[in-house]
Amino acid sequence: MALKRGLNKGKGLAALIDTENVKDSGKGNGNGNNEGVLMLNISQVEPNREQPRKNFNEDELQELAESIKQHGVISPLLVKERDGYYEIVAGERRWRAATIAGLKEVPVIVRDLTEQEILEISIIENLQRVDLNPIEEALAYKRLMTEFDMTQDEVADRVSKSRTAIANSVRLLKLSENVQQMLIDDMISSGHARALLGIDNEEEQFVLAQRVFDEKLSVRDIEKIVKNRSKEKTEKKKLETQFSNVYTDIETKLKDRLSTKVKVTGKENGSGKIEIEFFSGDELERIMDLIGKKD
């Protein structure tokens, strides 16, 4: 099965998964209109170990479990038959909630999928969920690009988002691990995180992220701080260049005058030092004579 079609908003995985050639057990889930759906003992079904999504909201799972107790699992899980069990391709959240609800069986659709198709479907199913945290989302996009050699435009088309949205999401992975964790823990917003990308130093980045949380700084506050730091850095570099040019000129003049290696270093406050090399006592006397000699 080739997953080449774009995923239209609101259409779910049906926009990607063909319903032809579904393995049919010959029995539905009791609703009378679920041809191709197989009822499996819940113990025969296991999660995909490569599942992109790692965090599940316990409160939402409990709410879904209560709904399942009343109405059952309305949408079948998509699974692949493995050696002795069925691996979930899409629907792990429903499976977890069904387990909490105490169900003995769950409805599934069995598909013969390649490993690439399994991973892509798992990623795209998770990307449709609004509670996926920004780092999980960014990692999902990155996997689509690296493991399937997809461009940002192709990923954008596949998940029905703009290329800019994909680019901004993936950029979050350039943040330090500490700041990424703060984003995962909802201590800072994605807007704050993108603004922090303007700081290269990871330690400074983390310190400023902590200020966001402690001082309740807005995104605009962070943008202003980052802009000022960038301006200060540029001015400092410009000043250092000016000092460097002055010192280089002084070094050249002293080298010509003393006929030996000279190094001049300075500090921002105007202080500094001059290093003059000599290789013998006679040469030291010669240099001293030249220093004391009046033009």
- The domains located in the chain, with CATH, are 22-111 (3.90.1530.30), 237-292 (no CATH)
SS3 content of the chain, % helix, strand, coil (to 5): 55, 10, 35
Query: What pLDDT score was predicted for residue 282?
Result: 83
Distances (CA, A) of 45 to 27, 63, 85: 18, 21, 6
Band of pLDDT at residue 292, cut at 50, 70 and 90:
confident
Confirm if 55 and 134 have CB atoms less than 8 A apart.
no
- Which token pair is 234? 């540029």
- CA dist 51 and 119 (Å) reads 8
Confirm if 73 and 62 have CB atoms less than 8 A apart.
no
- CA dist 123 and 51 (Å) reads 8
Query: What pLDDT score was predicted for residue 190?
Result: 93
Band of pLDDT at residue 14, cut at 50, 70 and 90:
very low
44 — phi, psi (to 5°)? -85, -10
pLDDT exceeds 50 at position 1: no
Query: What pLDDT score was predicted for residue 197?
Result: 95
* DSSP conformational letter for 23: B
pLDDT exceeds 50 at position 11: no
Band of pLDDT at residue 86, cut at 50, 70 and 90:
very high
The answer to whether 147 is a known catalytic residue is no
Bridge partners for 77 per DSSP: 108
pLDDT exceeds 60 at position 273: yes
Lowest mean pLDDT among 96-110, 118-132, 219-233: 118-132
pLDDT exceeds 90 at position 237: no
Nearest to 191 by CA among 175, 202, 203: 175
- Which token pair is 226? 């980052």
Helix axes 152-159, 115-127, angle to 10 degrees: 70
- Which token pair is 68? 């399942």
- CA dist 51 and 64 (Å) reads 20
User: Once rounded to an integer, what is the mean pLDDT over residues 196-222?
Assistant: 94
Longest Cα–Cα distance of the chain, Å, equals 111
- CA dist 40 and 284 (Å) reads 94
Query: Roughly how many angstroms between the first and final C-alpha of the chain, as a whole number?
Result: 90
User: Once rounded to an integer, what is the mean pLDDT over residues 27-43?
Assistant: 65
Quick one: how far is CA 58 from the chain centroid? 23
- CA dist 211 and 219 (Å) reads 12
Query: What pLDDT score was predicted for residue 53?
Result: 65
Check 20, 50, 58, 92 and give the catalytic one.
92
Band of pLDDT at residue 5, cut at 50, 70 and 90:
very low
**pLDDT (tens digit, 9 = 90+) per residue, 53-62?**
667 778 888 9
User: Once rounded to an integer, what is the mean pLDDT over residues 235-259?
Assistant: 73
